[in-house]
Amino acid sequence: MRDRGSTWLAELQDVSFRYGTRQILDGVTLRFQRGRVTAIMGPSGTGKTTLLRLIGGQIHADRGRVQVAGRDVARLSRAQLFELRKRMGMLFQSGALFTGLSVYDNVAFPLREHTALPEAMIRDLVLMKLQAVGLRGARHLMPNQLSGGMARRVALARAIALDPMMIMYDEPFTGLDPITLGVIMKLIRKLNDTLGLTSIVVSHDVQEVTAIADYVYLLSGGRVVGEGRPAELLGSSSGWVRQFMHGLPDGPVPFHYPAPDYGADLLDGARESA
């Protein structure tokens, strides 16, 4: 199933999604260009991870259309969806390595599941992928012997094991020390450019994203509130975009959680205890 040569590898058109009574996405339209690193940013809890799960077909939109490689994800049969997923990689925040398998077996897992390659060839491929993330020497370790950054790199090697067309990163910069952070940033950019991937990065780390992304969407309250190249967004005149991009404590997003008037609240307390 070769996709049409459109500029956009994945598209979300006017997508809404609610979880229980909570409206998580409300009419979101996003497009992801081939060969580029596109970032989705926004405060915690604005449905960024939900977007990735929609693209991966794990959940379906209540309204709107999710297209990947020219196909409507919600309309695919299970077998077709699995076929499509073999061409997508996803990097979970925790790494999601299989705790019972060694680093080597983790990276070999998708190859063993989806190909009938002889073990010798699988070995070559696994070592190649591990070399790309710099962990060829760690192949005998078990996941519980890895640091958080190493686990994420192994997961990255596993995500590219089947040479996917796109790769999705869920909060790849969270909880890393500065050195590992630099390594991961470099890897995302390098893999994107050398393997000809299309990358989608979900994150709330402004500095890292502006350093590596080609295009950025800003999400808040389930809506797209800003989009553009990182430089454009940094210089944006919109109050909300400025507040988020520069990390200002107060602005359109108030510092205080909605509450009754401070003075009245205090007086209320005094009256109640009286």
Residues that bind another protein (CB under 8 A): 56, 58, 81-83, 85-86, 88, 90, 92-94, 96-99, 109-110, 113-114, 155, 158
Report d(CA 126, CA 115) in Å as an integer. 13
Q: Name residue, tokens 């449905």.
A: 47
Report d(CA 270, CA 272) in Å as an integer. 6
CB 41 within 8 A of CB 203: yes
Which of 93, 210 has the CB closer to another protein?
Answer: 93
Least distance to another protein, CB of residue 186, Å: 23
CB 132 within 8 A of CB 69: no
Which of 11, 83 has the CB closer to another protein?
Answer: 83
Report d(CA 230, CA 210) in Å as an integer. 5
Which of 164, 230 has the CB closer to another protein?
Answer: 164
Least distance to another protein, CB of residue 202, Å: 14
Least distance to another protein, CB of residue 108, Å: 12
Which of 42, 89 has the CB closer to another protein?
Answer: 89
Which amino acid, 201? V
Report d(CA 71, CA 65) in Å as an integer. 10
Least distance to another protein, CB of residue 102, Å: 10
